[in-house]
């Protein structure tokens, strides 16, 4: 136990220095204006995950899907209006992303403890993602803070930039590259699929048509995902979907990746060696995952006088 704690402390310290060098963001951005904000977010996240452990994966996914569309600016949280075509209605998000009510609760609690709306919705997404991972047994890291919230959203951009579960390796590498993320980031962040579930329609073709899949695994998944119908039935992305570990990578080595885009990471391509390394070294995976989360969290952030601090994460302040 002491060894694991020492390792997590080292990860946190390393990332604290890396974060300050990365951008204008700082882990200590709210230290003086609202020192109780971070403990408040942690409390709400832990309660939500305790109530429904699947929620941890959902909150992590919200941050990922937000950052990949015009940067980490909470654009994903905006509801549709006469001038906003909500990203919630994109192919990757519609009837899929969840956890918005937890973000709403965090915003209310944080603004209450701070006495005014100083903590951005974009920063809430970043911190909630980290706290969700920790709540499910994963590593911690210092989250660089100071993001501002966007005043726009783009369903078109979401359709273009959020990775699809049907992508092969070259397409995945390219879509991550557009965000300034390399192959190590791709594999490490894909390891977030150690948590959560996927709907039947996202892996149906794989379990019935693909050949790079373990026969017994495919047969097991077909039980809850028939050829016709059952599109919203859920299956775990790895055998322990509410525990942060290396089972996801072990599955890929055994050709038991649930999504086509998962197995693409271990299919004779340039990422095979890294997948194998993570499957054998939990510490290396945890450290790289934390680093890549910090890197992803810095994509096209709004700072200073850019954007705004929303009063309600679902609505722009006019």
Residues marked active site are found at: 65
Known binder of ligand: residue 80?
no
Would the annotation count 63 as a binding residue? no
Is residue 75 annotated as involved in ligand binding? Answer: yes
150 is in an annotated binding site: no
d(CA 110, CA 37): 6
Whether residue 163 is annotated as binding a ligand: the answer is yes
- Residue 182 labelled as part of a binding site: no
Task: Centre a 10 Å sphere on the Cβ of residue 17 and count the other Cβ atoms it contains.
Answer: 11
DSSP string, the chain: -HHHHHHHHHHHHHHHHHHHHHSS-BTTTTTTT-TTHHHHHHHHHHHHHHH-THHHHHHHHHHHHHHTTTSSSSGGGPPP-SS---GGGSTTTTTT---HHHHHHHHHHHHHHHSSS-S-HHHHHHHHHHHHHHHTT----PPPB---B-S---HHHHHHHSPPTT--HHHHHHHHHTTT--HHHHHHHHGGGGB-EEEHHHHHHHHHH-SSS-HHHHHHHHTTS-SSS-TT-EEESSS-TBS-SSHHHHHHHTT--SSHHHHTTSSSSTTHHHHHHHHH-HHHHHHHHHHHHHHHTTTT---TTSSB--SBTTB---
- Cβ(264)–Cβ(168) under 8 Å? yes
| Residues of each annotated binding site | 66, 69, 71, 73, 75, 87, 163, 193-194, 238
Sequence ranges of the binding site for Ca(2+): 66, 69, 71, 73, 75, 87, 194, 238
- Binding-site residues from annotation for substrate: 163
Q: Which residues are annotated as a binding site for heme b?
A: 193
């Amino acid at each position: 136990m002491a060894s694991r704690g020492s390792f997590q402390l080292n990860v946190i310290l390393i990332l604290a220095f890396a974060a300050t060098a990365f951008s204008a963001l700082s882990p200590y951005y709210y230290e003086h204006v609202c020192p109780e904000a971070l403990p408040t977010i942690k409390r709400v996240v832990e309660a939500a995950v305790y109530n429904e452990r699947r929620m941890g994966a959902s909150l992590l996914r919200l941050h990922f899907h937000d950052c990949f569309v015009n940067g980490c600016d909470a654009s994903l949280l905006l509801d549709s209006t006469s001038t906003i075509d909500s990203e919630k209605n994109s192919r990757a998000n519609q009837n899929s992303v969840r956890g918005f009510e937890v973000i709403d609760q965090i915003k209310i609690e944080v603004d209450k403890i701070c006495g005014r709306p100083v903590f951005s919705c974009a920063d809430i997404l970043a911190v909630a993602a980290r706290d969700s991972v920790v709540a499910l047994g994963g590593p911690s890291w210092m989250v660089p803070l100071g993001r501002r919230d966007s005043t726009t959203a783009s369903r078109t951009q979401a359709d273009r930039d959020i990775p699809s579960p049907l992508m092969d390796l070259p397409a995945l590498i390219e879509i991550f590259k557009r965000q300034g993320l390399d192959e190590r980031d791709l594999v490490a962040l894909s390891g977030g699929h150690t948590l959560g579930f996927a709907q039947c329609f996202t892996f149906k073709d794989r379990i019935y048509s693909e050949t790079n899949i373990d026969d017994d695994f495919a047969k097991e998944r077909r039980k809850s995902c028939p050829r016709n119908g059952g599109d919203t039935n859920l299956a775990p992305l790895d055998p322990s979907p509410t525990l942060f570990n290396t089972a996801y990578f072990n599955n890929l080595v055994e050709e038991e990746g649930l999504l086509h885009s998962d197995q693409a990471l271990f299919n004779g391509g340039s990422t095979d060696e890294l997948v194998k390394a993570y499957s054998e070294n939990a510490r290396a995976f945890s450290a790289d995952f934390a680093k890549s989360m910090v890197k992803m969290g810095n994509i096209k952030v709004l700072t200073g006088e850019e954007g705004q601090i929303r009063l309600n994460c679902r609505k722009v302040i006019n």
